[in-house]
Structure 1
Protein backbone atom coordinates (compact mmCIF):
# COMPACT_ATOMS: atom_id res chain seq x y z
CA UNK A 1 0.00 0.00 0.00
CA UNK A 2 1.52 3.32 -1.01
CA UNK A 3 1.30 6.63 0.82
CA UNK A 4 -1.71 7.88 -1.17
CA UNK A 5 -3.63 4.66 -0.54
CA UNK A 6 -2.87 4.81 3.19
CA UNK A 7 -4.06 8.41 3.33
CA UNK A 8 -7.27 7.46 1.51
CA UNK A 9 -7.79 4.60 3.96
CA UNK A 10 -7.16 6.91 6.94
CA UNK A 11 -9.78 9.35 5.65
CA UNK A 12 -12.33 6.56 5.40
CA UNK A 13 -11.63 5.33 8.94
CA UNK A 14 -11.89 8.90 10.23
CA UNK A 15 -15.30 9.17 8.48
CA UNK A 16 -14.00 12.01 6.33
CA UNK A 17 -15.74 10.69 3.25
CA UNK A 18 -15.30 13.91 1.27
CA UNK A 19 -11.53 13.61 1.67
CA UNK A 20 -11.74 9.89 0.93
CA UNK A 21 -13.41 10.65 -2.40
CA UNK A 22 -10.81 13.30 -3.28
CA UNK A 23 -8.00 10.87 -2.47
CA UNK A 24 -9.63 8.14 -4.53
CA UNK A 25 -9.91 10.45 -7.53
CA UNK A 26 -6.24 11.51 -7.19
CA UNK A 27 -5.16 7.88 -6.97
CA UNK A 28 -7.22 6.97 -10.05
CA UNK A 29 -5.71 9.91 -11.97
CA UNK A 30 -2.17 8.85 -11.02
CA UNK A 31 -2.81 5.26 -12.11
CA UNK A 32 -4.26 6.47 -15.43
CA UNK A 33 -1.24 8.73 -16.04
CA UNK A 34 1.14 5.84 -15.35
CA UNK A 35 -0.78 3.55 -17.70
CA UNK A 36 -0.75 6.18 -20.44
CA UNK A 37 2.99 6.77 -20.00
CA UNK A 38 3.77 3.06 -20.19
CA UNK A 39 1.52 2.45 -23.19
CA UNK A 40 3.07 5.35 -25.15
CA UNK A 41 6.70 4.44 -24.40
CA UNK A 42 7.80 1.45 -26.55
CA UNK A 43 10.58 0.38 -24.16
CA UNK A 44 8.37 0.58 -21.07
CA UNK A 45 5.51 -1.14 -22.90
CA UNK A 46 7.73 -4.17 -23.58
CA UNK A 47 9.02 -4.26 -20.00
CA UNK A 48 5.72 -3.89 -18.11
CA UNK A 49 2.28 -5.44 -18.01
CA UNK A 50 -0.79 -3.61 -16.86
Structure 2
Protein backbone atom coordinates (compact mmCIF):
# COMPACT_ATOMS: atom_id res chain seq x y z
CA UNK A 1 0.00 0.00 0.00
CA UNK A 2 2.97 2.30 0.54
CA UNK A 3 3.90 2.27 -3.15
CA UNK A 4 0.31 2.96 -4.19
CA UNK A 5 -0.09 5.80 -1.70
CA UNK A 6 3.19 7.36 -2.83
CA UNK A 7 2.29 7.09 -6.50
CA UNK A 8 -1.09 8.72 -5.78
CA UNK A 9 0.59 11.28 -3.53
CA UNK A 10 -1.75 10.65 -0.58
CA UNK A 11 -1.04 9.35 2.88
CA UNK A 12 -1.28 5.68 3.69
CA UNK A 13 -3.91 6.42 6.35
CA UNK A 14 -6.06 8.33 3.88
CA UNK A 15 -5.82 5.49 1.38
CA UNK A 16 -6.77 2.97 4.08
CA UNK A 17 -9.80 5.10 5.00
CA UNK A 18 -10.84 5.13 1.33
CA UNK A 19 -10.72 1.34 1.13
CA UNK A 20 -12.73 0.86 4.31
CA UNK A 21 -15.25 3.66 3.72
CA UNK A 22 -15.96 3.53 0.00
CA UNK A 23 -15.00 0.00 -1.02
CA UNK A 24 -16.00 -1.74 2.24
CA UNK A 25 -12.78 -3.70 1.96
CA UNK A 26 -9.14 -3.66 2.91
CA UNK A 27 -6.20 -3.11 0.62
CA UNK A 28 -5.19 -6.78 0.81
CA UNK A 29 -8.68 -8.03 -0.06
CA UNK A 30 -8.99 -5.51 -2.88
CA UNK A 31 -5.62 -6.51 -4.30
CA UNK A 32 -6.49 -10.21 -4.04
CA UNK A 33 -9.68 -9.59 -6.00
CA UNK A 34 -7.81 -7.63 -8.67
CA UNK A 35 -5.30 -10.45 -9.03
CA UNK A 36 -8.06 -13.07 -9.17
CA UNK A 37 -9.99 -11.23 -11.88
CA UNK A 38 -6.78 -10.72 -13.85
CA UNK A 39 -6.10 -14.45 -13.73
CA UNK A 40 -9.47 -15.39 -15.25
CA UNK A 41 -9.48 -16.38 -18.89
CA UNK A 42 -10.66 -13.73 -21.31
CA UNK A 43 -14.08 -14.63 -22.70
CA UNK A 44 -14.07 -15.34 -26.41
CA UNK A 45 -16.48 -13.17 -28.36
CA UNK A 46 -17.72 -15.20 -31.31
CA UNK A 47 -19.88 -12.41 -32.71
CA UNK A 48 -16.99 -11.06 -34.78
CA UNK A 49 -15.40 -14.32 -35.89
CA UNK A 50 -15.75 -15.76 -39.38
Structure number having the greater helix percentage: 1
Q: TM-score, normalised by structure 2?
A: 0.38
| Higher gyration radius (CA) | 2
The alignment's TM-score, normalised by the length of structure 1, stands at 0.38
